[in-house]
Amino acid sequence: MQKIKDITCRLKHAGRHFLPAFLAAVVTAAAVASLLSGCSQKGGSDAAETIKIGYVNPTTGALAGNGEGCEWVVNQITDYVKEHPITVDGKQKTLEVIVYDSASDQNTCSEMAQKLIEEDQIDLMIAIQTPNTVIPVAQVAERYEVPCIATQSPVDPLANSLDEFNWTCDAFYTLDEVYESQRALWTQAGHPPKSGAKVGLLFANDADGTAWHDIFVRRLAEDGYEVVDPGQYPSKTTDFSNVAAKFKSAQIDVIAGTNIPPDFMNAYNMIIGAGVRVDCVTMGKCCLLQSDVDALGDLADGIMTQVWWDPTYPFKSGLTGLSSSELNEKYMEDNGGRTMPQPAAYAYAALELAVQTFTSAGTTEKEAVRDAIRGLDVTTIVGDIKYDHQMKGLTYASTVLCGGQWQREDGQLVLKVIDNTLYPEIGLTGEYVPGNATQR
């Protein structure tokens, strides 16, 4: 039975691309084995003894760096719950997390979310890994009235995506906080507010890029910066010659934006090739992860970005008791010495929240589960989570945000926490180092 269950699980992770005939054979074999055994194995996945969590992950595609560590995190939390079952609906239950690959495609996100609800009949949805995934998954959860824990999406683009939210709660930061964090980084590079520095914007015309663009245009003008806006570009474009030309003619001082990694690599190469020289580059999304900056190579050296979580952060899981450093050590042991990426920490926190939700609700009844999410006030591996804020009808919890810079250390690119303006309780791990690829 266990072998059959493992095969079925791998097929689920493969998304839509499985062999129907083979699956039918597996299901038939499972049915025969069940009849022969006459009862469920201890810790099995019988529906009456299992809480089902749906999870759409960008395992492949442009956002695959954000999906790194998903399987490892799922195993950590499901193994914990096997040893510490949750009492729900009068029974002790374990956790089954059903993961589908979105291939970093928004339409696939919607299809997989719908499949999780209609076919897998999940009890709760997790929407995670950038607005590109969170928005379509949360929208499906709202349409089907399924409780949804959203995270790793700035609040604004998610809040702007629907007129109202009745089933989704987000845990992340707002774009005003992102702006203030990046402004602190520009200040370290010699361009404080009222300096008249010229900031060139690099934003796609998707929901995430539009939300960032609108906030930055407004806040930059308020702070006395000169906005150099070449206009939002279509995501996955390859020709950024007009952007490079505008930045060069304006003689900008700063580049600010958020982009998927292929877009940024194409744009940055063209900007540098045009001879643009800037004092600092602050980027969201594309420069957050080790795998992404490793692909950029020397282009990433000196780039500044957000730091939502770091192994040095002083947080401990209220569920498992592990500290940030202890969780990172476990991850490194199991993943060839790689540091645990920021999104994986948020994946861990999302599953912590799911377990805490059902523990609090004591039932799988959907309205009770939704209300239990809203009532959470818990400590997770990414800090305290309390859903006590609202934006355009979206309930959300604020999470920690600091500023970082990718720096060379013993030949390797390392993300150093160099600014804690918004959260002074977080310790710094480095100091600002001048320079970036546009100057070399």
Q: Provide the 3-class DSSP secondary structure of residue 97.
A: strand
* pLDDT of res. 440: 82
Residue 137: φ, ψ to 5°: -70, -45
266-271 own/partner pairs: CB under 8 Å, 24+ apart: 266/237, 266/238, 266/240, 267/202, 267/233, 267/240, 267/243, 268/296, 268/299, 268/437, 269/299, 270/239, 270/240, 270/241, 270/243, 270/244, 271/240, 271/243, 271/244, 271/247, 271/438
Instruction: Tell me how far apart the alpha carbons of residues 52 and 88 are, in angstroms, rounded to a whole number.
Output: 12
In this structure, are residues 149 and 169 in contact, taking their beta carbons and an 8 Å threshold? yes
| Residue 208, amino acid | D
Dihedral angle at the C-alpha atoms of 289, 212, 417, 222, nearest 10 degrees? 160
Q: Determine the distance from the C-alpha atom of residue 175 to the mean position of all C-alpha atoms in its chain, rounded to a whole number.
A: 15
Residue 275: φ, ψ to 5°: 90, 15
In this structure, are residues 403 and 304 in contact, taking their beta carbons and an 8 Å threshold? yes
Q: Which residues of the chain register pLDDT less than 70?
A: 1-48
Burial degree of 333 (CB within 10 A; 0-12, 13-18, 19+): exposed
* pLDDT of res. 18: 38
